[in-house]
Structure 1
Amino acid sequence: MTDPVPLAIVTLAAGKGTRMKSDLHKVLHPIAGRPMIEHLLAAAAELAPQRSVVIAGHGREQLEAQLGDRADIAVQDPQLGTGHAVQQAEAALAGFAGDVLILYGDVPFVSAATMRAMIERLHGADEPAVVVLGFEPADTLSYGRVIAEGDRIVKMVEHKDATEAERACRLCNSGLMAVRSADLFGLLARVGNDNAQGEYYLVDVVNVANAVGRTCAVVVTADPHEVEGINSRAELAVAEHRWQNRRRRAAMDDGATLIAPEAVWFAWDTQLGRDVLVEPNVFFGPGVVVADAVTIRANSHIEGARLASGVEVGPFARLRPGAVLEEGAKIGNFVEVKKAVMGKGAKANHLSYIGDAEVGAGANLGAGTITCNYDGYFKHKTVIGERAFIGSNSALVAPVRIGADAIVGAGSTVTRDVLDGELRIVRGEQLVKPGWADRFHDAMKKKKAAEKGKA
């Protein structure tokens, strides 16, 4: 066995993305709650690259903030084409000896398997200088063409520079390439800009290699959708739609029931267990983990939450980041939970806000219960003991602790701790005046009749 060849990833993200009409960098627009470039880099990470270089231009600061130290940022200024863009990675890859995989930040769904196939072909017996990822779309549009005999590339040509015969070829260039670092920058140095755009095309490294007698090869993806670029809001929506459809099918294949799959929206990292039931119009934001046998009823919004087995949520519930529902807990209609733990079997069935709280096993929070967690400057915690009962329309002003088996009477505003087993009622004394209402009604009826008489 030989040691694996080191790998570097070069991702092109220097375009202005003008068709997006956005202040946000194009490759940072999210799909399933995750910036598109992060989808791409996550797939590339499965190949364990030693280096990662992102070519930036407009919006460099945004890319630096998003990626941190996970990638070197190289700047392309001025922007003179894709070949010129890749040349900007030369300094960052100084001293690197290995393979280089060239990707595009706005082509986010290239699979790790496809990337791996490109690298494996680069190390084929004929030792190609360049491996190009090709695809055969339903409509070839204005894609560059790959003219090949078998998998050996004879010529690469941009659509605008192609002859009619070349445009009849259905094998198109995705722009993705695999090249040895020892070859890459030497080939790029020989690329000219004598073309319709006056730019240095990356694809011309193939023609340069062919001209000196080197072999170049094409790997063809079986799924043309994985190399579709995203350049506008409409294309972003199409990509989201395709991603969601794949995720919905995967959820059902893994044992979840989606009553109306088209009305369930997943985040990139949503985890669902077996025998989970999801009703229509449920939205999962990032960071949700759902165990087996959970029921999520219609029109619920869940983000950053963990749901243990047997939990029931909704309808019309909202779980915000930090919500933890332990086994058998129940969150009902119009209940919001944020940064709070609902213990085993605990319930909040109606019209409540539970924030910055710890609710013990078996506790029951009546309709309209509010944990008043914010004083205008700081957040404070509410702790509710096991089997405690909180009456309807109660306000628990944090920081406050309600003991185990305690009862808080309906309509109470609790500002001090309640001991275990204690009853706490905090409301004005009920005033009773027998006959007062009858006398009031009689007086008002007479007054109204007198007013009518004057008219």
Structure 2
Amino acid sequence: MDATAIILAAGEGTRMKSKHAKVSHSILGKPMILWVVDAARAAGCTRIIVVVGSHANEVRELLNTHYQEQTPCVETVEQTERLGTGHAVKIALEACDIQSGSVVVLNGDLPLIQPDTISRFIDSVASDNYAGTVLTMTPPQPFGYGRVQMDTTGSIVRIIEQKDCTPEQDANLLECNAGCYAFNGEQLAKHIGSIRAENAQHEYYLPDMVEILKAAGERVGILHCSDYRDGLGVNSRAQLAEITALARERINAQLMDNGVSFIDPLQAWISPDAQIGCDTVIWPQTHVLGHTIIDENCQIGPNTRIIDSIIGKDCIVDETVALEVQLEDQVTCGPRAYLRAGTHMLAGSKAGTHVEIKKSTIGEGSKVPHLSYIGDTTMGANVNIGAGSITCNYDGARKHPTHIGDRVFVGSDTMMVAPVSIGNDAIIGASSCITRDVPDGALALERSNQRIIEGYGAAKKRRTQ
């Protein structure tokens, strides 16, 4: 399929009241523009062009970060003067020398459009049935959308903007323009220059192509969205919240169809790029974001946030923040655990209550049960870390590693001052400060002598009277 997607992302987005580009605002942890680009890619578009304008550098950087090594690459064209959607498409056609094939024009603030909708949209012009097609929908609240007027044969006549609708048209024309168009590329290139800025805003409007193509004797059709959510755009913070709720609803319903359980699907926010296995249970107030993969039969949440992580089978992740980590099978975390980037917990290991782990490997069956910090550490199998123990990995300038062997027992309130290595089967006495390497099988103790002064309390009381 030779299809080009032109994604319009140059608008100011003034109603967002933001210092950032509208299309960079996130839904379920993913910027809006990436939702649209990924949908176009999944639909099979061989070329993707994003028209940038307001906050152009911010949008370019966002796209480059995500797509710089992917095929097809995402091209950008800057609309330095924002003179309307027709002008944006015209400069994209000229800058990228598009004169043939199918061209689908999408809005960058249309995050819920699905790949199947785009594919059918492209097919409507690729089959030569139409020179152009308009994406339409019937939302529950049509106010604010342009209305599609059709003749008695069901052919589109024109698009009437909300502000131009008569009361009768407002009440009776329920088919709405979603603001997306598909064109035969040759016909689009031939007629795009016919759009005129003869309106109050002195802008070139892409919807005018409907009447231009019809006047040239070409057929223009509609593609009705079976799911109206595909055509909903974002223009304000309130609409951003509404679209987020709809996205959550759609994603969670699909996951439940695939065997995932939600205690309350209204209180779980799952990224569109996340994967969750069957028989996993998602508890309330859980966020699974980014490209997270969760395997089967896990308990996730409540009050948990997982980003860009891999979770194995049969894991329990309770009241945990996990950022770019890997948990193998049967790992237990929380409640109130903080797992930072680079953490790798092997099968059967545990990070307990009020535990922070950073850039460390926790060996198979090893346990960090409570009130501890483990950083820049390689830990062997079946290790037990006592409460309140810390790897002191930072000297104020550099980070240093700690190596802990297999079957090590670390007593409570132990400081391990890196760089340091503790051998297999070693025992560390509670309340020790370990500054030197500990050999295999050794007992390490570091304590000052305990002093007892009899009668001290009574003597102190007499001195203060």
TM-score (norm 2): 0.89
Which amino acid in structure 2 is aligned with residue 147 of structure 1? Q
- Tell me how far apart the structure 1 counterparts of residues 98 and 160 of structure 2 sit (CA, whole Å): 32
Deviations 1:418-441 (A, max 9, x none): 22222222232x2243xx23x212
SS of the residue 2:61 aligns to? helix
Counterpart of 2:191, as a letter, is L
Equivalent residue in structure 2 for 1:66, among 32, 52, 62: 62
Going from structure 1 to structure 2, the CA distance change for 1:260 and 1:397 (only over 3 Å counts) comes to farther
Partner of 1:443: 459
Q: Which residue of 2 aligns with 1:93?
A: 96
Query: 2:198 maps to which residue?
Result: 194
Q: Which residue among 1, 7, 18 is the counterpart of 2:3?
A: 7
1:109 to 108, 112, 123: 112
Cα deviation digits, residues 364-388 of structure 1 (max 9, x gap):
1111121222222222222211111
Q: Write the mapping of 1:190-229 to structure 2, written as runs, cut at 5 A.
A: 190-229=194-233
Check the 8 A contact 1:161/1:195 in 2, yes or no: no
2:299 to 257, 274, 277: 277
Kept in 1, the 8 Å contact 2:51–2:79? The answer is: yes
- CA–CA distance in 2 between the matches of 1:242 and 1:399? 51
Distance apart, 1:143 and its partner CA: 0.7
SS in 2 for 1:210: helix
Provide the rounded CA distance (Å) in 2 between the counterparts of 1:215 and 1:279: 54
Q: CA deviation at 1:268?
A: 4.0
Question: How large is the Cα RMSD of the aligned pairs?
Answer: 2.0
Alpha-carbon distance in 2 for matches of 1:132, 1:188: 16
Contact 1:295 1:313 in 2 (8 A): yes
Q: Give the stretch that moved more between structures: 252-261 or 189-198.
A: 252-261
What TM-score does the superposition give when structure 1 sets the normalisation length?
0.90
Give the Cα–Cα distance (whole angstroms) in 2 for the partners of residues 295 and 253 of structure 1. 22
Q: Structure 2 CA distance, aligned partners of 1:160 and 1:60?
A: 30
Deviations 1:4-61 (A, max 9, x none): 3x12111111111222222221111122222111121111111333322111111111
Choose which of 228, 241, 244 in structure 1 pairs with 2:245: 241
Is the contact between residue 256 and residue 272 of structure 1 (CA under 8 Å) also seen in structure 2? no
Q: 2:450 aligns with which of 413, 428, 431?
A: 431
- In 2, the alpha carbon distance for the partners of 1:95 and 1:40 equals 20
Deviation at 1:240, TM superposition (A): 2.4
Count of residue pairs brought into register by the alignment = 438
What amino acid maps onto 1:154 in structure 2?
A: V
Secondary structure, in 3 states, of the residue corresponding to 2:436? coil
Contact 1:407/1:422, CA 8 A, preserved across alignment: yes
Matching residue of 2:281: none
Shift of 1:333: 0.8
Query: Which residue of structure 2 aligns with residue 328 of structure 1?
Result: 348
Aligned equivalents of 2:98 and 2:117: distance in 1? 27
Of 40, 47, 52, which aligns to 1:51?
47
Q: How does 1:78-227 map to 2 (within 5 A)?
A: 78-94=81-97, 97-124=100-127, 127-149=129-151, 152-167=155-170, 168-227=172-231
User: Cα 1:218–1:151, aligned 2, differ >3 Å: closer, same or farther?
Assistant: farther
Matched, 1:384 2:380: no
For the residues of structure 2 that align with 1:305 and 1:322, how far apart are their CA atoms? 6
Q: What are the superposed Cα offsets for residues 190-228 of structure 1, whole Å, 9 maximum, x if unpaired?
A: 111223433211111111111111111111112212221
Compare 196-205 and 323-332 and name the one that shifted more.
196-205
CA–CA distance in 2 between the matches of 1:112 and 1:343?
42
Q: Is the 8 A contact 2:101 2:126 kept in 1?
A: no
User: Which sections of structure 1, spanning at least 5 residues, go unmatched?
Assistant: none
Percent identity over the alignment is: 36
